[in-house]
Amino acid sequence: MTTPWKLAARAEKMNPSAIREILKVTERPDVISLAGGLPSPQTFPVTAFAAACAEVLATDGQAALQYAASEGYAPLRQAVADMLPWEVNPDQVLITTGSQQGLDLIAKVLIDPQAKVLVETPTYLGALQAFSPMEPQAVSVASDAEGVLPEDLSAKAADARFIYLLPNFQNPTGRTMSEARRAAVSAAAQAAGLPIVEDNPYGELWFDEAPPLPLTARNPEGCIYLGSFSKVLAPGLRLGFLVAPKALYPKLLQAKQAVDLHTPIFTQRMVSTVMRDGFLDRHVPQIRALYKAQRDAMVGALRREMRGLDVEFNVPKGGMFLWLRMPEGIDATALLARAVERHVAFVPGAPFYAGEPDARTLRLSFVTATEPQIATAIAALAETVREALAH
Ligand code: PMP
């Protein structure tokens, strides 16, 4: 008799990430992918890690290979607290296995089945995926080029567990909340007694000027803040952190213990060693300069190639992504298959919406492909759009 595996209801609800499925297609070497959210490998500080790895093994080898504290490596927690632009006690810092794990822990600690969770329109797909096994009702808050609208937040806040916000160079749109919008959103959330989960993996990747202060800095007791080393050092480290109010911290820690006991201590010690002596202050400006040049290359190519087409796009002030809206009648998901035939890939916007999707939207990454590849890919994308409009 075959063994009858009965799936849990939550497993029935899990879906393969639309983005990961697309990435499989784009692994073909003849396709230029503007789809993935992959930082440029040129920016990974391989030499610094080689030196730190040797040093950690030589000086703390046994401790680096032993089980360790669930909260994280104390010097790294201190470094995180020192890095943030508001008063943070290192006791409030929980080192996570990527900020994606922070989203999972938050979901476990704060979401009951059918509980209401507010999100931006559109929002980070990976957060929707992390929340969904806890079976929330994800409610989309109306948003414009500066993020969520405070009036709609107030209208939908009743009984919501939290609102999930990405104020800096948002994934997927690349948009940033202005100072005025932050003040209004923070005030509206406080007036409604609505906690904020603030996700900020891209905040350091600004091009001309640093973005305004995080929402958490304005009301630390009402916010959980998520940060990541993926975009400033390397995503393969799987290293992130969260900063939580004291009342919530023990629950997040217990959830973390159940998931993986602790984040790899070897990695934490290596990163702590790499970051010594202001390494990030020298390293991150190089990433900013590279990504700014790539953004300019993409915006230039779009202006050139999309001329005469009713294609709207933004010019992000930092981060990795740019958001496009295709002409009337074009569905970006259908367009992808045609684009791949022309050796270019992007991510359709639809999966990023918790509510009704705008099928005309799509996300482009300007950091993974080189400048000549960007020029080729945008020309191919424009041809794809022209062909689709002709049919
Ligand atoms: N939040 C957002 C908005 C992201 O774009 C990503 C990475 N794509 C994550 C969280 C997860 O990042 P990490 O590598 O730190 O898990």
User: What atom in ligand 1 is closest to the CA of residue 229?
Assistant: 15
Summarize pLDDT for 53-102 with one digit per residue, the tens: 999 999 999 999 999 999 999 999 999 999 999 999 999 999 999 999 99
Nearest residue to 35 (alpha-carbon basis) of 27, 44, 43? 27
Strands across the sheet containing 240-243: 93-96, 240-243, 223-228, 196-199, 160-165, 116-120, 137-141
ipTM of the complex in this document: 0.99
Q: Are 274 and 48 in contact (CB under 8 A)?
A: yes
**pLDDT value at residue 20:** 65
Whether 24 has a pLDDT exceeding 80, the answer reads no
What's residue 10's pLDDT?
A: 83
Per-residue model confidence (pLDDT) at position 21: 67
Q: Give how far the C-alpha of residue 241 lies from the chain's centroid of Cα atoms, to the nearest Å.
A: 13
- What's the Cα-to-Cα distance from 247 to each of 43, 83, 236, 253, rounded to whole Å? 38, 23, 31, 11
Q: For position 18, what pLDDT does the model report?
A: 61
Ligand 1 atom with the smallest distance to the CA of 37 is 8
pTM of the model: 0.96
Q: From the CB of 168, is ligand 1 less than 6 Å away?
A: no
Measure 99 CA to ligand 1 centroid, in angstroms.
6
Quick: pLDDT tens for 109-127.
Answer: 999 999 999 999 999 999 9
Q: How far apart are the first and last CA of the chain?
A: 54
Split at pLDDT 50, 70, 90, the class of 37 is confident
Tell me if 98 CB under 6 Å of ligand 1.
yes
pLDDT tens, position by position, 320-330: 999 999 999 99
The CB of 216 under 6 Å from ligand 1? The reply is: no
What is the atom index within ligand 1 of the atom nearest the CA of 230? 14
User: From ligand 1's centre to the CA of 359, what distance in Å?
Assistant: 23
What is the 235 CA–ligand 1 centroid distance (Å)? 9
What is the 93 CA–ligand 1 centroid distance (Å)?
Answer: 18
Ligand 1 site-directed mutation target among 199, 226, 323, most atoms within 8 Å of CB: 199
State pLDDT tens for residues 331-384: 999 999 899 999 999 999 999 999 999 999 999 999 989 999 999 999 999 999
Is residue 229's pLDDT more than 70? yes
C-beta separation of 273 from 344 below 8 A? no
